[in-house]
Amino acid sequence: MTDDRFTNQVAIITGAGQGIGFEIARQMAMSGAAVLLNDIDEQLANRAASVINMLGGKCHPLAGDAADINFIQQMVDEAVRKFGFLTIVIANAGITSYGEFLDYQPEDLQSVINLNLFGSFFLAQKAAIQMKKQTSGGSILLMSSVTGHQAHKNLAAYGMTKAGLEMLAKSLVLELSQLNISINTVAPGATLTERTLQDNNYEQIWSRITPMGRAATVEDIANSVLFFVLPQSRHITGQTLVVDGGWTATSPSPY
């Protein structure tokens, strides 16, 4: 299915080689956007972009580490070089880091902070600088998680970074609104992806404890992201949309 909701829009989407990021990129490209698709895995990035291009979309792969400040600038520069301007940025790249608090190691905390917080912060900054130059505004979307709202066992570090992203979006309203740039977050709940489905019990467990009776699909999350970054949605800013089938309303543990 194609439409023209994102015609004349240019987007950067990080961590989009598969899973939620890929579905966001696919839907956006099929709705008219030109997409710079990033993943740290070059093979995944190239394959994902190839699929989207074969479907009739416009997608350019760029492999690299979304936590590296020089590469973040390179993504913005490449999007502008390839497509002429930049209007949408989706900071989807992130890592999940499990570990008991009393045993958690400094290098593990540094790793999750570097990508989830540092990478998202500076991607938003570099994108906003470019959008300011263009004077036409834009939309920035940070990917949070229900773990930023409800405690999960062994996910203190990860949940802390996701809650931080939601506060970042609120804070940046003060500086970006005058530039006609919206910034929001989407907080997915349990979602069926290539990674989560490696756990054979994942879908069964989360279907049982989610009020809607199933875990989210990548389409569920992508649909919500696209709503936030539509040019027509730009008056919505500083908000978080939780997409979890009602799980945070009751929050039963999967353990």
**CA nearest 35: which of 173, 192, 229?**
229
**One of 126, 162, 182, 202 is an active-site residue; which one?**
162
Active site residue 144: yes
Q: How far apart are CA 243 and CA 30, in angstroms?
A: 22
C-alpha distances out from residue 142 to 2, 15, 18, 57, 223, Å: 25, 12, 17, 23, 15
Alpha-carbon distance values, 76 to 79, 124, 200, 231 (Å): 5, 10, 38, 19
> What is the three-class DSSP state of 218?
helix
DSSP reduced 3-state for 204: helix
Q: How many CB atoms lie within 10 A of CB 81?
A: 11
Alpha-carbon span 213 to 219, nearest angstrom: 16
Give Cα 254 distance to the centre of its chain.
24
State the catalytic residue, choosing from 126, 139, 145, 158: 158
Q: Say which of 139, 144, 182, 224 is annotated catalytic.
A: 144
Strand pairing partners for 241?
A: 186
**Of 56, 244, 67, 41, whose CA–CA distance to 144 is shortest?**
244
Give catalytic residues, as residue numbers.
144, 158, 162
